Amino acid sequence: MIPAEFQPIVYALVYILVAPLLGGLIAGIDRKVTARMQGRVGPPILQPFYDVGKLFEKENPVVTVTQNFYVLSYLVFMVVAGALFFSGGDMLLVIFAFTLSHIFIVLGAYASYSPYSHVGAERELLQIIAYEPMIIMTAVGMYMVTKSFFVSTIVSSAVPIILYLPGVFIGYLIVLTIKLRKSPFDLSTSHHAHQEIVKGVTTDFAGPNLGKIEIAHWYEYVFLLGVIWLFFAWNPLVAVAAIVVAYFLEILIDNTFSRVKWQLMLRSAWIIAGTLGLVNLGVLYYLGMVVMP
Amino acid sequence: MTYLAKSPWIVHYNASSCNGCDIEILAALTPVFDVERFGIINTGNPKHADILLCTGSVNEQNKVPLKNVYDQMPEPKVVIAIGICAATGGIFRECYNVQGGIDKVIPVDVFVPGCAARPESIIDGVVTALGILEKKRAAMLQKGSAEGTKAGETV
Amino acid sequence: MIFSGGSLVHILDLLGYLILFPLIAAIFLLFERRDSSRSLIVQLSAVAIGIVSLLLLVLGYNRDTLLYAVGSEQVGQVMFFIELLMVAFILYLAVKHRKTLAAVLVLLQAGLLVWFETSLSHGLHVANNLFVDQFSIIMALIIGIIGTLICVYAVGYMETYHTRHPEVRDRRNIFFAILFLFLAAMFGLVFSNNLLWVFFFWEITTLCSFLLIGYSETEEATNNSFLALVMNLLGGLAFLAALIWLVLSDPSGRLLDLNYLLTTGKALALVPAVLICFAGITKAALMPFSSWLVGAMVAPTPVSALLHSSTMVKAGVYIIVKFAPVLSGTTEGLMIALVGGMTFALASFMAISQNNAKKVLAYSTIANLGLIVACAGVGTYNLMWVAILLIIFHAIAKSLLFLCVGTVENRIGSRNIEDMGGLIVRMPRIAIMMFIGMAGMFLAPFGMVISKWAAIEAFIQAPFGLIFIAILAFGGSATVFFWSKWMGKIISVMREQEVLEDTVKKEKWVVLWILTGLVVVVCLIFPVISWVLIEPFVLNIYGQTAGLAQANLTIMIMMLCLLMIMPLSMLFYRKGPHVPATPYMGGRPMDGNMHFAGSLGNSREVVLSNYYLEKMFGEERLFMIGTSMCWGLLLIAGIMLVGVML
């Protein structure tokens, strides 16, 4: 057995090593399922790894050398956020590190002064402000149920958190669509070819820099799905099933909706998801403070 | 075999095509031909692409944009000229403003003839291009190790 | 009462020094018209004041509240006399500029003052007029270090200002005298235990800000200075009403003792607390009164920096945080907290729609003050801790940002954010400082995010905390938006730009580098600040105290170090192989100057503008909503207060 004080470090290391493999695999399955939904054969499951491998085989043209720094920081802080999460750290700190890493990719896009990446950066910022309140509410909801912001406590709680936080969970799924860059909320950049602003945020990154962004996305996938796990942490089997169903739903939505304007995205995330989350939290608060103080 | 051959991303540039070849290129992306089977993605961005698919002949208006798009693709890269206009200027070659095929402006690696070129032959052209891509990669590596690291300074 | 016997320097001497020394410096500056000697006086005084405030920290940090019986009836008389002089002066200006409302308010105040002095002040005796505790020390450090740094910066700035604005009358001697008078008044405010003294210094800050805002004597400046005056006089009236209430409840004047009043409990202290908090809300420019701070932008930039970071608005939140224990758990306190919360959210939203750099900073200040008041209004022990932390971090980062924007404005001749594109090429060092300042305002693991995080953890345990968490979540994300897009503007790399910052003076660089260093260092050592100053203070009042978990602190500091190491990767990238590329422009032919060939051979420049989302976050609409809601909340608090009084 690992001594208790080293456990967080071990979990963090496991995340750092395994998450990119897992994330890449998820991306591969995603593309395969998408292709099947469209009546195509689709690429091999390992295609995302080939893509990133190829990107690292290419040269690295940059408009300004600072772009390298922003992309590297994006990747590093994404890893930090995920590692903090999986080592059982404070949810709020994880969220702040997560935001920090996204600010870096936005800055990288701004730095190049191309109109396409500029619009992409503005839209990415809109996406950040759209999902952030809901993610904070998710953390607050978990605190209300388990009385702790620490992932280690939340995950070992025997309480089925989902039963207390159904509204928060649905709200989280809504903003998850934004985070996974799925239609209808893939405003800043898209995995599909039909992007009206070329490739948005990633337009001016090429070769290894783009590869790093892809790897950061993989880390991000694993972290985001890990949050779903927390809702179902009392039963690992149910948790895995929930993650599979949730991800499948996201792919289905991706393939059945067209992209919306930013106004609708912001309203969906703030008004619909926000209301769901707040009402849910309000009821919990009322029960916690008044009914069972 | 490198990863390059498993993940060729394309960018499509219409120089001054009649759209016949363009429709055939897009047809290759449909479920019938499904080029994503081979990892081919239409990126729409030269900075992400490995293969430039070019249709139509070159004229005064589009030769600089074509050159720009080509220059912005990171090495190694290949160019495929799709259709007879892209190869020689086709029926437009005698026009007062047409300069001829796209090889007048940028180096072309594969010519796919036809008016319009069929999706099968376009896919075949791309597969041929993969071999050239790998050779270019090998050449790039050799050149890199011979020259040492290129030092450059931008802001 | 504990005396600081044994040490070489008596703490009381330091307090007296801090209040009187800036006053003496002000008098010298008033009569000094030569640039070189003015600069010397300002720099020497700044160093002297800074050192003494640090000395105060060293001697006073580990003591309980120290109370001092100084001053006498005569001092009170002199204060009354000066207050009357101020009233006469303001009345003269109000009549001169035909500002009826200001004249009416100042007359009302004069009447109340005279009535108070003639019929109520007999037999008033406050045992201890001065005091010092850890919170005062924190405030003193902010005033003594950041405030004076801004004064040093102002010397160079005002020189450039007058060469750029020849139409403005050169009254720099008065300007600097007022700056130092302002500092003296702020020191007086945070060290006074007698509420009459607090009120006296309070009114001086109102007068100083009024004069500084109107410095350029343009019509806009005059109007905005009177706007500030009217709102602050309104607050002053509320303050005076609180004093009268206190004296009427206990004619011996014992209740005028601030630290005694705070211990008397809610029954006695609530009414004056709410009235004084109303005064604090006007001074801190919260929502119904936010327009004066936005209007104050017409003043020279060092004035804005001073008003926003170390003086004026900080006086407002200082007094509200002081009364937080009284407010905690009361409905009136909740209303005040809601005013703060609404202000935080709406001001953050409004900042999105602004392209005037100083206005963005102004709204960000208003938002953060709102957050501080929200914390103080709810008033639990951990929120008090957060509020003080916010005051510290905000003061440092905001002063840095104002001074940077001032420098940029003097060079590029615009305060529009859209004109700041490519600042990283044109003014690289200033751009990096602004970058750090902004990071301090909204990025983890810098100060404001630490505070927001602690605020979430604290609100969740407080009554009605969920409302404030929602406000924090939505308002906080708006903060991310407007800061990041500004950051993006600064760092976008445009080619073929000339470097503009070589003309910036040396003393300005010193000030800017010190402030930049403070943003980072205070972040690194804030656990020490919390442990040495904030926690004892909170413990003293509530009997328990807050702090972040040890594990989290370690991680935060590691993140900060990582963030400082990351830019070193640039060294590697600069050397390593890379291929220069042009930004993607859809293949259009471009030259290095970002001009592209449009149709018919026209050459067009690429102009990229940020999103301002006017329709959703427009200033006017949100201001209407915010003002009416906050007036409503204040009205409810007022009605409840009348209920309590009766």
Give the model's pLDDT for residue C321.
92
Residue A31 Cα, gap to closest chain B Cα (Å): 10
Least CB–CB distance from B42: residue in A50, A193, A206: A193
Characterise A43 by phi-psi region: left (phi > 0), alpha (psi -120 to 50), beta (else): beta
Strands B110-112 and B78-82: parallel
Res. A280 pLDDT band, cuts 50 70 90: very high
Region A68-96 average pLDDT: 92
| Predicted confidence (pLDDT) per residue in C192-245, tens digit | 988 888 999 999 999 999 999 989 888 899 999 999 999 999 999 999 999 988
Question: Can you spell out the DSSP letters for B107-143?
Answer: --SEEE--TTPPHHHHHHHHHHHHHHHHHHHHHHHHH
User: Which of 45-64 (A) contact C at CB < 8 A?
Assistant: 59-64
Q: Is the pLDDT of residue C391 over 90?
A: yes
Q: Is the pLDDT of residue B155 over 50?
A: no
Q: Of C213, C230, C472, nearest to C367 (Cα)?
A: C472
Number of CB pairs, chain A paired with chain C, less than 8 A apart:
179
Q: Under an 8 A CB cutoff, do A129 and C610 touch?
A: no
**Best residue of B29, B48, B73 to probe chain A, by most A CBs closer than 10 Å:** B48
Characterise C110 by phi-psi region: left (phi > 0), alpha (psi -120 to 50), beta (else): alpha
Residue B43 Cα, gap to closest chain C Cα (Å): 13
Dihedral sign, Cα of residue C33, residue C37, residue C39, residue C41:
negative
**Best residue of B6, B26, B73, B77 to probe chain A, by most A CBs closer than 10 Å:** B6
Give the model's pLDDT for residue C5.
47
The structure tokens listed for B73 are 């693709």
Q: Under an 8 A CB cutoff, do B66 and C579 touch?
A: no
Region C446-461 average pLDDT: 88
In this predicted structure, which of A281-290, B141-150, C42-51, C603-612 has the lowest mean pLDDT? B141-150
Q: Of A190, A209, A173, A172, nearest to A34 (Cα)?
A: A190
CB contacts of A57 in chain B (<8 Å) are 2-4, 76, 137
Any chain B CB within 8 A of the CB of C624? no
pTM of the model: 0.92
Least CB–CB distance from B149: residue in C495, C574, C577: C577
Residue A59 domain boundaries: 4-291
Q: What percent of chain C has pLDDT over 90?
A: 32
Is residue C329 within 8 A of residue C315, CB to CB? The reply is no
Res. A176 pLDDT band, cuts 50 70 90: very high
Rounded to whole angstroms, the Cα distance separating A108 from B86 reads 36
Q: Under an 8 A CB cutoff, do A40 and B47 touch?
A: no
Instruction: Return the SS3 of B99.
Output: strand
Characterise B56 by phi-psi region: left (phi > 0), alpha (psi -120 to 50), beta (else): left
Res. A289 pLDDT band, cuts 50 70 90: low
User: Which of 417-446 (C) contact B at CB < 8 A?
Assistant: 425
Residue C603 Cα, gap to closest chain B Cα (Å): 15
Give the model's pLDDT for residue C576.
63
Is residue A216 within 8 A of residue A74, CB to CB? The reply is yes
Give the model's pLDDT for residue C481.
93
* Domains contained in chain A, number: 1
User: In whole angstroms, what separates CA B95 from the centre of its chain?
Assistant: 24
Q: Find where tokens 């009322």 sit.
A: A286
Comparison of pLDDT for C569 and C121, the residue scoring more: C569
Least CB–CB distance from B149: residue in C576, C588, C589: C576
Give the model's pLDDT for residue C1.
37
Where do the domains of chain B lie?
3-147
Q: Find where tokens 């001594």 sit.
A: A3
Helix or strand holding residue A62 (H, E): strand A61-62
CATH class of B3-147: alpha beta
User: In whole angstroms, what separates CA C372 from the centre of its chain?
Assistant: 11
Burial A117-148 (b: 16+ CB within 10 A, else e): bbbbbbbbbbbbbbbbbbbbbbbbbbbbbbee
Least CB–CB distance from A57: residue in B2, B34, B41: B2
**Best residue of A36, A40, A65 to probe chain B, by most B CBs closer than 10 Å:** A40
Q: How many residues does chain A have?
A: 293
Residue A39 Cα, gap to closest chain C Cα (Å): 32
Rounded to whole angstroms, the Cα distance separating C413 from C357 reads 12
**Best residue of B60, B105, B150, B154 to probe chain C, by most C CBs closer than 10 Å:** B154
Amino acid occupying residue C94 = A
| Predicted confidence (pLDDT) per residue in C525-582, tens digit | 888 888 888 888 888 888 887 777 777 788 888 888 888 888 888 877 777 666 677 8
Is residue B101 within 8 A of residue B66, CB to CB? The reply is no
Give the model's pLDDT for residue B149.
44
Rounded to whole angstroms, the Cα distance separating C597 from C543 reads 71
Strands B58-59 and B41-42: unpaired
CB contacts of C586 in chain A (<8 Å) are 116, 198
CB contacts of A65 in chain B (<8 Å) are 154-155
| Predicted confidence (pLDDT) per residue in C20-36, tens digit | 899 999 998 888 888 88
Q: Is the pLDDT of residue A49 over 80?
A: yes
Give the model's pLDDT for residue A212.
94
Q: Under an 8 A CB cutoff, do A281 and C466 touch?
A: yes
CA distances from C301 to A64, C296, C519 (A): 33, 10, 20
Rounded to whole angstroms, the Cα distance separating C129 from C72 reads 9
Chains contacting B (3 or more CB pairs within 8 Å): A, C
Burial C9-23 (b: 16+ CB within 10 A, else e): eebbebbbbbbebbb
Least CB–CB distance from C587: residue in B68, B74, B155: B68
Res. A290 pLDDT band, cuts 50 70 90: low
| Predicted confidence (pLDDT) per residue in A266-277, tens digit | 988 899 999 999
The structure tokens listed for C637 are 């608090």
Give the model's pLDDT for residue C444.
79
Helix or strand holding residue B14 (H, E): strand B9-14
Region A127-133 average pLDDT: 92
Give the model's pLDDT for residue A217.
94
Rounded to whole angstroms, the Cα distance separating A118 from A106 reads 9
Binding-site residues on chain B for chain A (CB distance < 8 A): 2-4, 6-7, 9, 29, 31, 34, 36-39, 41-45, 47-48, 50, 72, 74-76, 137, 140, 154-155
Q: Under an 8 A CB cutoff, do B3 and A50 touch?
A: yes
Q: Which residue of A has its CA nearest to B32?
A: A40
| Predicted confidence (pLDDT) per residue in C56-103, tens digit | 888 888 777 788 877 667 788 888 889 889 989 999 998 888 888 988
Give the model's pLDDT for residue B150.
43
Contacts of C123 (CB under 8 A, 6+ apart): C251, C252, C253
Q: Of B31, B34, B35, B27, nearest to B117 (Cα)?
A: B27
Q: Find where tokens 């908090």 sit.
A: C277
Q: Under an 8 A CB cutoff, do B4 and A210 touch?
A: no
Least CB–CB distance from B7: residue in A35, A50, A62: A50
Rounded to whole angstroms, the Cα distance separating A278 from A44 reads 42
Region C619-625 average pLDDT: 89
Chains contacting C (3 or more CB pairs within 8 Å): A, B
Cis bond upstream, residue A184 (ω within 30): yes
Any chain C CB within 8 A of the CB of A115? yes
The 10 Å Cβ neighbour count of residue C84 is 14
Q: Which residue of B has its CA nearest to A189?
A: B43
